[in-house]
Structure 1
Amino acid sequence: MDDKATLHRYLRTRREDLLAKLDGLSEYDARRPLTPTGTNLLGLVKHVASVELGYFGEVFGRPAGVALPSLADDAEPDADMWVAPDETREEIIALHRLSAAHSDATIEELPLDAPGDVPWWPADRRRVSLHQILVHMCVETAHHLGHADILRELIDGTAGQRPGDPNLTQRTPAGWAAHRARIEAAARAAGW
């Protein structure tokens, strides 16, 4: 597998992992803010979709033709990071899938050294390649997937990428409680 195919596979996997964080959640749980800054699961999906449309669309002269009110000049700050009551989960998931398909087409059609221009970056950094943007979006998506991992665990205790995730130690709820208690005791001992 070449570098482009490897990076593309990682991006596709992280996108699907992010969407999977919504599985089985109520509308409220998918949207509710769980941090002081309002971070929420459906907002993360909306944000990643919006960002991908820009980086794999505008940057390479391939606009998707999708108007995103949350990114309009008159939109309130951070409108792409949460979902208004009149926006449905289905619309956000459809946006995410449309964004992914548009990005995939750009990735498949252009070589890694294809030049692009990021108009919202400082002038000295604007000139980029597809390779650079592909790495950037793998990191961006994984970054927000990490947020989503923590939010989902706070909502219902679901941890890891999927049930039986081999990267997560398997413990019973009592085992996790004991593990957490050990960590809390260590923190308190170090803090005193």
Structure 2
Amino acid sequence: MLSSAFAVMAAGSAFAGEQYVDESKYALSGYDPVAYFSLEQAPVGQKQPEAIPGKASITADYNGSKWAFSSEENRDKFLADPAKYAPQFDGHCAYGIAQGGKVPGNPNLWRIVDGKLFLNITPNVVGFWEEDIKGHISSAGTKWTTLEGQEASSKSWKSISANDGTYSTTAPKGS
């Protein structure tokens, strides 16, 4: 029980490293981090709704990166409590962190657990993640202490062919 509490606390403070930013030049690939919390989360084993694109005209800086939002209201909520909305492990794949490495997080492969946003890299990895979500969060929380200071992944999640079909729009939107 105590180790579970420590893992959740460790996962809750998973923001000390370098934020994952892809070719979009935005954290979370330009998707709105606050909007996830208003989407209806699919049950384990089912595809999540697509992330909501932010707008290039509504942004904020946090953790050394630019973030995009779909509304000024969402930007203001984020700025009031960024740790509540930013993805865990600086936007890297939570399963990858649990396995001991930093790999990109696909913003359309997400799950909110205990009020925290987690990403994964490919649909196949989501399957592994969902076999033991709490166990992987615990493992990732432990391994994050040694990984957080390493450079962010420089790979693009969109360049992985397994992610074809995981998104239908590019973020952020122009206005």
TM-score by length of 1: 0.30
Question: Which structure features the higher share of strand residues?
Answer: 2
Question: Which structure features the higher share of helix residues?
Answer: 1
TM-score by length of 2: 0.32
Higher relative contact order (Cα pairs below 8 Å, separated by 6+ residues): 2
